[in-house]
Amino acid sequence: MKFLAVSAVVSALLSFVSAAPIVLKKRDWDYSSEKIHGVDIGGWLVLEPYITPSLFEAFGDNPPVDEYHYTQWLGKEEASNRLQNHWSTWITETDFSYIAGMGLNFVRIPIGYWAFDLLEGDPYVQGQQEYLDQALGWCAEYGLKAWIDLHGAPGSQNGFDNSGLRDQIGWQSGQGNVNVTLGVLSQIATKYSSSNYSDVVIGIELVNEPLGPELDMNQLTEFYNQGYEVVRGEGNVPVIIHDAFQADGYWDNVLNTQEDSSVYQVIVDHHHYQVFSTGELQRDLNTHIQTACNWGSAEGNEYHWNIVGEWSAALTDCAKWLNGAGRGARYDSSYLGGAYVGSCNGLYTYDQSYWTQDVISQYRQYVEAQMDAYENGKVGGWVFWCWKTESTVEWDFQRLAGLNIIPQPLSDRWFPNQCGF
């Protein structure tokens, strides 16, 4: 099996639709009747070391662990130079053309608070808004809908590197951090609720992955209520709330009394992975599949319409730096020293010898089950994390499609009716 360059893979996949024109959709999205099939534009306007490790490898054996420290180490001028180059090259119009051509209808675009406002002493650099605006223009061009996802909040809402600041959770404790977040949401809502974006932006996510077990949930609920008022006060854009890693149905009694009885003005965002604990990694394929089906069944009965806004093909945590720059994997016990599950050889890079037909079939079976599970009842579709990476297959939509793990067309099934609904 030969591995093609990403552009060649996508070009080959697009050949079967090359004669069909792209139909532009100039209307609001009805979450109660339409299903989202999308990708997250990860590692672009918010850095993540595992998505683009080359940016961090440039620092040698002791790389910065997040965007905060990346910009702090470089200083404003050099950080701006490097990030401008990254923003202008990592994602381009060609990506949006490919996304639409592969049968997808949606993108979720992460962005940090620092693109709109800076705290005193913040090392972050700005300029991301220009690229977000450009991306939304490409969405309009190619008939794609979008969420604007506030991925990083001041002080960090989860301590993950994808918040911009790793290993601390100061969002609720820092002086004024929540109010700064509400101010940023007001800026986002004011700008992107306008008629210029009404045919594209179908949701604003108040904050990505607040780590509920480490936060004051009463304060988070109050923030969601306040954020709803801020966003809805500016226009008719639905409000997206992440489930904060709480049990299915937890948010059924929050924001459930819309004045127009349109429950799809609030959408709950679930993120589903099964690789961030040794117990999950030890599951066999059938258990992974049944777990995904169980999620789809439970969330299909929630009060709010909901979307699985992040999921992947990953059956391991072997992607380089997935657990953070400088860290190994639970799978091979190189991170946290737990039980050894298996070798990561072949999973860090595109090792041709690893991706046999049997391995491809197993991943395809898992992917298809998730696609089907996340369209059940009030689960309004799925958004794959993420569109592309530099060096790992399990999280790279394009490479997975090139391997026949992501179906093309998306409706194709090797393993139909796995969830029984």
Q: Enumerate the active-site residues.
A: 209, 310
The token pair at 414 is 């090797």
Neighbour-count burial of 6, counting CB atoms closer than 10 A to its CB (0-12 exposed, 13-18 middle, 19+ buried): middle
For CA atoms 72, 73, 77, 83, give the dihedral sign. Answer: negative
Q: What type of residue sits at position 27? A: R
Alpha carbon distance 299, 251 (integer Å): 11
